[in-house]
Amino acid sequence: MPRSPAVDPGAGLNQSVVKALALLRATADDPDANVSSLARACGIPRATALRLIRTLEHEGFVLRNPGDERVLLGPEIFRLARGSDEQVLLQDVCRPIIAELVETIRETVTLSVVGPDGALDLVEQVDAPHQLRPGSWLGRRFPLHASASGKVLLATMDPADRRAHLPETLIRFTSATITDLDTLDSELESVRELGYAVASDEEEEGLTGVCVGISGGGGDLLGVLCVAGPTQRLDRLRGREAVTHLLAAARTIERVLRGST
């Protein structure tokens, strides 16, 4: 049974600190919490809860998701815990934003996160409403040289690290697959300059992916946000539209992770 976060005033205690800690515990217990529900759970006025949450947000201990006004544990909690998984926070922040992207772009949207081994793991997928061939990519690792998400990851690496993450021979999946290292290096330079990556028919004929990176406070890559769909639909015009929405979504996610609104 979850512990009750209700505040129990005690002699000699700083009640503002007690209430703030109660709010943190209530936030941890309820992934769908908002300011009003937290105030009720802790038995304090909503105005008091809002003031304390704003203070906690300013210090990085909570954040408010602009997508649905949920209150989530913030990056400072994860930094102090050290052993906690930052990917959980990233996925929580991204879910409503991914759902909004799917409604706007009308194509499948995925989130991949950088795993402990430095590779990308696909952890979130919301399919387009008109998906004709439903299927899950969850848990799948795409070839780095032949996928848009892989190109985003490779573009963050120096040449030595890049070679360590690539096979000696780049496998050809289709006629569009890049199998020459110099050509791939040139492509990755463009990815760095443009801020996004595209892979059309490179791993699978008829499939195009458009991806952007999500960076943490220190500039390290935390994850990759992607739009995927049939090449005939994600033509140059639709691809540019997808890039615009993806870049805006990634910047929103980064701001939320930094604790600003």
**Domains of the chain (ranges plus CATH)?**
15-81 (1.10.10.10), 86-257 (3.30.450.40)
pLDDT band at 176 (very low <50, low <70, confident <90, very high): very high
Please, what's the b/e burial string for 126-157 (b: 16 or more CB within 10 A of its CB; e: otherwise)? bbbeeeeeeeeeeeeebbbbbbbbbbbbbbbb
Contacts of 109 (CB under 8 A, 6+ apart): 98, 101, 102, 125, 126, 225, 226, 227, 228
Rounded distance between C-alpha atoms, residue 24 and residue 72, angstroms: 9
pLDDT band at 226 (very low <50, low <70, confident <90, very high): very high
Contacts of 6 (CB under 8 A, 6+ apart): 22, 41, 42, 43
What residues does 111 pair with on adjacent strands? 124, 225
pTM above 0.75, yes or no: no
Quickly list DSSP for 106-159. Answer: -SEEEEEEE-TTS-EEEEEEE--TT-SS----TT----GGGSHHHHHHHHTS-H
Mean pLDDT taken over the chain: 85
Q: What is the pLDDT of residue 85?
A: 62
- The answer to whether 221 touches 214, Cβ cutoff 8 Å, is yes
Rounded distance between C-alpha atoms, residue 108 and residue 124, angstroms: 11
Percentage of the chain exceeding pLDDT 70: 89
Residue 218 has pLDDT above 80, yes or no: no
Residue 43 has pLDDT above 60, yes or no: yes
Q: Retrieve residue 192's tokens.
A: 């760095």
